[in-house]
């Protein structure tokens, strides 16, 4: 970095005003005010004074070496014009000067210039053409036009360039060099060779500007830690171009939340440690191009360009970018140890993601759908991991392997007419299409990690047509891809292809309820539900009586279900009968649960019942010849237990109440069934 900021000059230039109030000097080119020219007022003023300029056209080159506020009286740049008398000099010159009598150095700080049209100079405003400059200047609400350069800042710190219109300057709208901590906000910059050029500088901020119709909207050379945020950049040759040479020096520049459209080359970056986030890049010839390492691209939207995102370099991160409808490709990575994670590369005319000329890259959890070539292209690249991606409806293929070797491709969801494309030329290359079987949720919600899910849109894919008889989530046969010439790809085999997974013990959600008329005693309202409580009925309850029976409810069950019973009265507890309920139904494993409830709140309790190996599932609940299934024992507080029997019918699957009990005569508290859910599960 060649940055040479003459901070010592700031110290030399500081002159402080005492406690006296600022004097306002007025200027009018048609007389009637203090002075006819701006320069006369500047010469008369002292540090901290104000020069107020009335509407008119002032043809002069103004030299400022004091701390002054120079502003138009109207605040309207259209009626207060300052035009250079000598086009080879700045219109407003804030450069340091030596006083002839004593050779002392004089420079202004905290200069404010606002409300003017500034034109026809070598610079509209110039700060620091020599080696010394003041700082903390503010240039706002000006129209700066028809100069060689609009605003020039060198060796000057903490300046603000706000809300100006900077247009039709020959070379640059704003030129910042060898300085730091300057802020450009809210400017409209157009029709110059370069909109903003920042060179050999640190820590500058360009925010909320509109830049259009330039060769380079924003250019940077050897810049570090600069922020480019919320700018609107369109119809330029280059949107933003930053060139940090010297072996791709670390720079740490931040490019965030900008909009780029209708540029030739939108974002071109040379260097390391760029951070690009939430930018929108569309309808350009080229999208984002980076050459360097350790760059981060997160959450950018890149579409309708010739190329989406292209990167040459190592250890870059691409995460959660949406890249679609680009002409050549979505994302292209040339380099080593790059991570592409959770990106969407869809509907591109070409490839979704391209990885080539590099090794040890990771493509994790990306979506590559509906591209006209392949979802993913691996070309001349080794030892990459392709894991957890969804790759569907691509026209050429799901994944295209060209001279690949030792790539690990597993736990991906493929659904294309041709899922894996490989030629006979590459049959000797070895790639692994599965990992070792291990516990973990796979991409089709199975319980184990292994290979890939191989589907086709018409339902004839390998994973769709090959059975999983042991229910482990893998097809019974291995999957051997076929090359385009029809040869078996024997060095690239999926030994654990994922199957259509139907989990064991998963409740079916097609149950429904009907109600029979009967009497219910000793309760308020009872609600009976199935599954997730979206299908429920409320049972009307009779007035409490000393003796009576529970109302009979018919539960029509189409398959596995969760049955829930709730009551408004909490003063009971319940448990599963260990002695008779399970054995009669053939349940090999029994789980007992007791619910004691006090107070006025209901409770919901779930019991999991697992079938042993002797039971087979035939679409209905296992039951013995008597139809007995599960016993619920309801206990009075205090009192002896009574039972309600639920039975299963093997032919039609109906479950009804059996052996309806009568409760003993009681007083308050009333007895009810509270918070019971029975989960019947498939073997």
**What is the C-alpha to C-alpha distance for residues 411 and 444, in angstroms, rounded to an integer?**
9
**What is the C-alpha to C-alpha distance for residues 430 and 409, in angstroms, rounded to an integer?**
11
**What is the C-alpha to C-alpha distance for residues 682 and 202, in angstroms, rounded to an integer?**
66
Inter-CA distances, 54 with 38, 41, 71, 596, 653, Å: 10, 12, 9, 88, 95
Contact 390, 380 (CB under 8 A): no
Residue 598 is predicted with a pLDDT of: 28
Split at pLDDT 50, 70, 90, the class of 502 is: low
Distance between start and end Cα atoms, the chain:
70
DSSP 8-state symbol, 326: -
Comparing 617 with 325, the larger pLDDT belongs to 325
**Residues ≥6 apart with Cβ < 8 Å to 8:** none
Per-residue model confidence as pLDDT tens digits over 163-173 = 999 999 999 99
pLDDT over threshold 60, residue 128: yes
Contact 183, 207 (CB under 8 A): yes
Residue 88 is predicted with a pLDDT of: 96
**Residues ≥6 apart with Cβ < 8 Å to 181:** 157, 158, 202, 203, 204
Distance of CA 519 to the CA centre of its chain: 58
Per-residue model confidence as pLDDT tens digits over 391-415 = 999 999 999 999 999 999 999 999 9
Contact 182, 176 (CB under 8 A): yes
Residue 102 is predicted with a pLDDT of: 56
Residue 680 is predicted with a pLDDT of: 30
Tokens of residue 619, six digits: 């679409």
617-656 CB burial, b ≥16 within 10 A, e <16? eeebbbbeeebbbbbbbbbbeeeeebebbbbbeeeebebb
Residue 20 is predicted with a pLDDT of: 56
The mean pLDDT of the chain is 76
Comparing 63 with 610, the larger pLDDT belongs to 63
**Residues ≥6 apart with Cβ < 8 Å to 480:** 488, 489, 490, 493, 494
Residue 222 is predicted with a pLDDT of: 87
DSSP 8-state symbol, 23: P
Distance of CA 355 to the CA centre of its chain: 22
pLDDT over threshold 70, residue 504: no
Residue 130 is predicted with a pLDDT of: 75
User: Closest by alpha carbon to 644, among 632, 629, 654, 656?
Assistant: 632
**What is the C-alpha to C-alpha distance for residues 561 and 577, in angstroms, rounded to an integer?**
20
> In the Cβ-directed half-sphere of 33, how many Cα atoms lie within 13 Å?
20
Split at pLDDT 50, 70, 90, the class of 101 is: low
**Residues ≥6 apart with Cβ < 8 Å to 203:** 180, 181, 224, 225, 226
**Residues ≥6 apart with Cβ < 8 Å to 503:** 445, 446, 447
**What is the C-alpha to C-alpha distance for residues 135 and 143, in angstroms, rounded to an integer?**
22
Comparing 528 with 471, the larger pLDDT belongs to 471
pLDDT over threshold 60, residue 122: yes
Residue 678 is predicted with a pLDDT of: 32
pLDDT over threshold 80, residue 14: no
Split at pLDDT 50, 70, 90, the class of 185 is: very high
DSSP 8-state symbol, 521: -
For residue 97, how many other CB atoms are within 10 A of its CB? 16
pLDDT over threshold 90, residue 552: no
Task: Please name the helix (run of DSSP H) or strand (run of DSSP E) that holds residue 584, with its range, or none.
Answer: helix 581-585
**Residues ≥6 apart with Cβ < 8 Å to 354:** 329, 331, 332, 333, 376, 377, 379
Residue ranges per domain, the chain?
A: 1-214, 526-680
Per-residue model confidence as pLDDT tens digits over 560-592 = 333 343 444 333 333 333 332 222 222 222 222
DSSP 8-state symbol, 411: S
Beta bridge partners of 259: 232, 280
**What is the C-alpha to C-alpha distance for residues 414 and 410, in angstroms, rounded to an integer?**
10
Mean pLDDT of 149-160: 96
Split at pLDDT 50, 70, 90, the class of 503 is: low
Mean pLDDT of 62-88: 97
**What is the C-alpha to C-alpha distance for residues 323 and 282, in angstroms, rounded to an integer?**
10
1-214, what's its fold?
Pectate Lyase C-like (2.160.20)
Cis omega before residue 669 (within 30°)? yes
Contact 123, 117 (CB under 8 A): no
Residue 277 is predicted with a pLDDT of: 98
DSSP 8-state symbol, 425: G
Distance of CA 411 to the CA centre of its chain: 23
Per-residue model confidence as pLDDT tens digits over 505-544 = 333 332 233 333 222 333 333 333 333 333 333 333 333 3
Tokens of residue 435, six digits: 């990992």
425-454 CB burial, b ≥16 within 10 A, e <16? ebbebebbbbbeeeeeebbbebebbbbbbb
Residue 104 is predicted with a pLDDT of: 60
**What is the C-alpha to C-alpha distance for residues 634 and 369, in angstroms, rounded to an integer?**
56
Split at pLDDT 50, 70, 90, the class of 488 is: very high
Per-residue model confidence as pLDDT tens digits over 413-470 = 999 999 999 999 999 999 999 999 999 999 998 999 999 999 999 989 999 999 888 8
């Amino acid at each position: 970095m060649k940055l040479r900021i003459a901070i010592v000059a700031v110290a030399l230039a500081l002159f402080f005003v005492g406690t006296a109030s600022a004097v306002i000097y007025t200027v009018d080119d048609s007389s009637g005010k203090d002075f006819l020219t701006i320069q006369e007022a500047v010469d008369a003023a002292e540090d901290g004074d104000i020069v107020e300029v009335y509407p008119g056209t002032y043809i002069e080159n103004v030299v400022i070496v004091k701390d002054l506020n120079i502003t138009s009286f109207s605040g309207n740049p259209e009626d207060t014009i300052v035009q250079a008398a000598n086009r080879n000099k700045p219109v407003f010159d804030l450069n340091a000067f030596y006083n002839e009598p004593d050779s002392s150095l004089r420079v202004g700080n905290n200069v404010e210039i606002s409300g003017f049209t500034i034109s026809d100079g070598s610079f509209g405003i110039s700060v620091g053409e020599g080696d010394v400059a003041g700082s903390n200047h503010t240039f706002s609400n000006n129209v700066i036009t028809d100069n060689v350069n609009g605003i020039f800042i060198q060796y000057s710190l903490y300046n603000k360039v706000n809300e100006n219109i900077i247009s039709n300057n020959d070379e640059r709208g704003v030129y910042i060099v060898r300085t730091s901590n300057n802020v450009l906000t809210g400017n409209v910059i157009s029709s110059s060779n370069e909109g903003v050029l920042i060179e050999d500088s640190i820590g500058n901020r360009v925010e909320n500007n509109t830049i259009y119709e330039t060769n380079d909207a924003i250019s940077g050379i050897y810049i570090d830690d600069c922020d480019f945020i919320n700018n609107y950049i369109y119809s330029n040759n280059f949107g933003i171009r930053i060139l940090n040479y010297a072996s791709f020096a670390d720079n740490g520049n931040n490019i965030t939340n900008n909009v780029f459209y209708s540029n030739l080359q939108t974002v071109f970056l040379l260097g390391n440690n760029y951070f690009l986030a939430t930018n929108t890049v569309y309808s350009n010839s080229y999208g984002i191009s980076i050459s360097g390492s350790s760059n981060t691209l997160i959450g950018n939207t890149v579409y309708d360009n010739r190329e989406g995102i292209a990167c040459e370099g190592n250890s870059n991160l691409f995460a959660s970018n949406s890249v679609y409808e680009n002409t050549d490709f979505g994302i292209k990575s040339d380099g080593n140890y790059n991570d592409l994670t959770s990106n969407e590369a869809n509907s591109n005319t070409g490839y979704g993601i391209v990885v080539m000329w590099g090794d040890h890259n990771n493509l994790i959890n990306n979506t590559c759908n509906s591209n006209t070539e392949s979802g993913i292209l691996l070309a001349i690249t080794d030892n990459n991991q392709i894991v957890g991606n969804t790759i569907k409806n691509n026209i050429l293929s799901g994944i295209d392997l060209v001279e690949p070797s030792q790539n690990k491709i597993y736990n991906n969801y493929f659904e294309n007419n041709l899922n894996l494309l490989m030629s006979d030329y590459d049959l000797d290359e070895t790639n692994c299409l599965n990992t070792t079987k291990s516990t973990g949720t796979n991409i089709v919600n199975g319980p184990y990690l292994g290979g890939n899910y191989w589907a086709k849109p018409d339902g004839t894919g390998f994973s769709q047509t090959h059975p999983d008889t042991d229910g482990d989530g893998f097809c019974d046969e291995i999957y051997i891809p076929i090359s385009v010439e029809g040869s078996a790809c024997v060095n690239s085999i999926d030994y654990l292809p994922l199957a259509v997974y139907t989990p064991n013990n998963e409740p079916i959600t097609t149950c429904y309820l009907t109600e029979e008329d009967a009497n219910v005693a000793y309760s308020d309202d009872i609600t009976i539900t199935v599954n997730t409580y979206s299908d429920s009925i409320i049972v009307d309850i009779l007035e409490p009586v000393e003796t009576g029976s529970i109302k009979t409810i018919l539960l029509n069950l189409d398959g596995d279900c969760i049955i829930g019973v709730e009551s408004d009265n909490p003063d009971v507890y319940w448990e599963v009968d260990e002695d008779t309920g399970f054995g009669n139904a053939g349940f090999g494993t029994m789980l007992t649960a007791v619910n004691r409830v006090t107070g006025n709140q209901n409770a919901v309790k779930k019991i999991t019942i697992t079938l042993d190996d002797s039971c087979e599932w035939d679409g209905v609940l296992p039951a013995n010849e008597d139809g007995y299934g599960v016993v619920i024992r309801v206990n009075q507080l205090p009192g002896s237990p009574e039972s309600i029997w639920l039975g299963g019918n093997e032919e039609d699957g109906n479950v009804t109440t059996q052996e309806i009990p009568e409760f003993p005569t009681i007083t308050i508290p009333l007895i009810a069934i509270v918070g019971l859910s029975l989960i019947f599960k498939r073997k």
